Amino acid sequence: MIKPRKNPIKALIELPNWLGDCVMSTPAIENIVSFYRDIEITIIGSFNSVELLKNHPKVVKVVTIESKKKLPLKTFSGLESFDIYFSFRGSIRARATKLIVNAKKKYQYGQFKSSKSHQVEKYVDFVNYSLKINLKAGNLVSYIHKKNNSKTSKILGINPGASYGSAKRWYPKEFSKIAIELSGSFDIMIFGGMNELDFANEIESLLKSEGIHNFTNLAGKTSIYELSSYIGNLDVLITGDSGPMHIAASLQVPTISLFGPTNPVETSQWKNIKSLILKKNLDCQPCMQRICPLKHHNCMKYIEASEVIESITKLS
The CA distance from 46 to 248, in Å, is 20
pLDDT-based confidence at 198, cuts 50/70/90? very high
Burial degree of 220 (CB within 10 A; 0-12, 13-18, 19+)? middle
pLDDT of residue 309: 95
- 36-80 per-position pLDDT tens digit: 989 999 999 999 999 999 999 999 999 988 766 565 666 666 688
Query: Please, what is the average pLDDT of the chain?
Result: 91
When computed from its CA atoms, the radius of gyration of the chain, rounded to whole angstroms, is: 20
The CA distance from 94 to 73, in Å, is 12
Structural domains for the chain: 9-131 (3.40.50.2000), 155-315 (3.40.50.2000)
The CA distance from 89 to 122, in Å, is 12
CA separation, residue 25 to residues 53, 80, 213 (Å):
10, 24, 38
pLDDT of residue 242: 94
pTM tops 0.85, yes or no: yes
pLDDT-based confidence at 201, cuts 50/70/90? very high
Give residues with Cβ within 8 angstroms of 311, minimum separation 6: 256, 276, 278
